[in-house]
Amino acid sequence: MDTELTSVQCPPQVPLDLLELRKRLGSVMAVDDCKNRLIQDLFFEVETLHSALLNECTKQENERFRLNQEIAQYKTEVADLRHNQAKLSFVSILVDGDCMNFNDALIQEGHNGGRRAARLLLQAVERYIRDTDPQASPSLQYRVSVYANLPGLEKAYREAKVLSWTETLDPFVRGFNMEDSQCDFIDAGNGKECSDVKIRATFERDILDVHCRHIIFCAATDNGYARLLGSHRGSNRITLVEGAPFAWEIEQLATELRTAAFPAVFRAAKLPARAYSFSAAATASANVVAASPPTAGDTQSSSPARRDYATIAKANLQMTPSPSASSSSYSATASTTPTPPTPSPSSSSSTSTSTQIIFNISPSVTSTPLLPKIKYNARGHRIDPQLPRASSKENYERLRAAKLCNRYHLQDDCSYGDSCTHAHGRRLTSAQDLHDLRCISRTSVCGEGLWCTNRKCVCGHQCPWESWRDHELTGCRFPEEMHGVDREVVRVE
């Protein structure tokens, strides 16, 4: 086959300018060099930063290692401190023995009762701490400090018939102190505020002690401690123990503090108020007068001296009572049909050398006033007589601020004597003051409630504010059952 070759038309040749090309090549190469230098500079900067980062990482790693070592050391020191602190940690149990009374059965058991009281108190507190503070150390110590006016407390127990007049508190106190090395029953002295001062000082010392984990405060029936506890509202280191009902001011604080009760240890009510019972011997001695003929200079009548309360009281204090003497004196003077003394030969012969004794047994003079009767409703609830409002707000507040002892001024009957935390002094005589003080006493809740049968009780058995327009049951110190009490009297005793 024949192949035909055809000619190809080539573009016209353009003359090349080599110089221009070289110039252009030079420009391109310059740009490339600039880019290469830029890339090299960037790599250098990256390498520099990378090296600095590595150095910083190494430095931080070394610092972290050092801090971890210090933390481990500090943790060891803290653990040691906690361990040592746990060895010294304690719970302080403060008891005002004058107002927080031990159960009668324990007192009557004497030495064994004292040991059992200390043991029961320690066990009750230990259980309470274990339930409320699981983090507490098992080796926690319990320090019990009971402060009381022992002579006054002993007298109160005797007058409440818990102890006989021949028994003392000494065996109970010795047993209490011997049960545990950390249990102390201390005679604070016979002053009115001696126990209070001891309790306050011990509380303030322990609350600042870092080793004191908790304070069990067994003195909440005394309003005087409200100022001591007020600055510790909301503290979880303080527990108020209720035996007898809380005092009013303490009751307000109890809503912001922990509370507990140890009924196996403490009485549910204070010791009952004592009744003044003058012995017949003392009454007789108060009426003894000398019947010898008066001299010319005498201006005093030879008639028997009139018996009054002050004379009998003074004579009663000067005598030393004894069971045998009291019984014999009582039997000697308790005759219902008094007969004048009949002189015998022997007595008439000795009249000139001895003093004749004359007894004034006039029925018109009484040493103690009659007690008011108690009114009851159909359910057997005690009904308080209605009282008019206080004479004035100013006088009411003045008496209230004075913190007077209601029983002392209204009934002449305070069982606490010199250990009472409220003011005695000169008795009120103004009818206005007595009425206002009775209004104040009605605002104190009776511990026996609606079932109180004590004629000398001056506390309230129904809420005195329930008839007020703005009174609310919530927050009232009187419990619900003391509101809306049926006031229809069905019997009087």
pLDDT in tens, 125-180: 999 999 999 888 888 999 999 999 999 899 999 998 999 989 999 999 999 999 99
Residue 6 pLDDT class (50, 70, 90 cuts): low
Beta bridge partners of 14: none
In this predicted structure, which of 5-14, 137-146, 342-351, 379-388 has the lowest mean pLDDT? 342-351
Select the more confidently predicted residue: 179 or 368.
179
How many CA atoms does the CB half-sphere of 472 hold within 13 Å?
2
Which tokens is 358 given? 């004359």
Select the more confidently predicted residue: 326 or 245.
245
| Tens digits of residue pLDDT in 308-325 | 444 444 444 444 444 433
Cα–Cα distance between 188 and 191 in angstroms, integer? 8
Residue 183 pLDDT class (50, 70, 90 cuts): very high
Predicted pLDDT at 316: 45
Cα–Cα distance between 194 and 421 in angstroms, integer? 10
Q: In 10 A of CB 356, how many CB atoms?
A: 13
pLDDT at 117 over 80: yes
Residue partners of 88: CB distance under 8 A and separation at least 6: 141, 211
Residue 369 pLDDT class (50, 70, 90 cuts): low
As a whole number, mean pLDDT of residues 78-103 equals 85
In this predicted structure, which of 8-22, 38-52, 250-264 has the lowest mean pLDDT? 8-22
Predicted pLDDT at 5: 55
pLDDT at 16 over 80: no
Predicted pLDDT at 263: 92
As a whole number, mean pLDDT of residues 54-83 equals 88
Q: What does the mean pLDDT of the chain come to?
A: 79
As a whole number, mean pLDDT of residues 59-77 equals 90
Global model pTM greater than 0.75? no
The percentage of the chain sitting over the pLDDT mark of 90, rounded to a whole number, equals 39
Cα–Cα distance between 173 and 110 in angstroms, integer? 8
pLDDT at 304 over 80: no
Phi-psi region of 110 (alpha: psi -120 to 50; beta: other; left: phi over 0): left
Residue partners of 51: CB distance under 8 A and separation at least 6: none
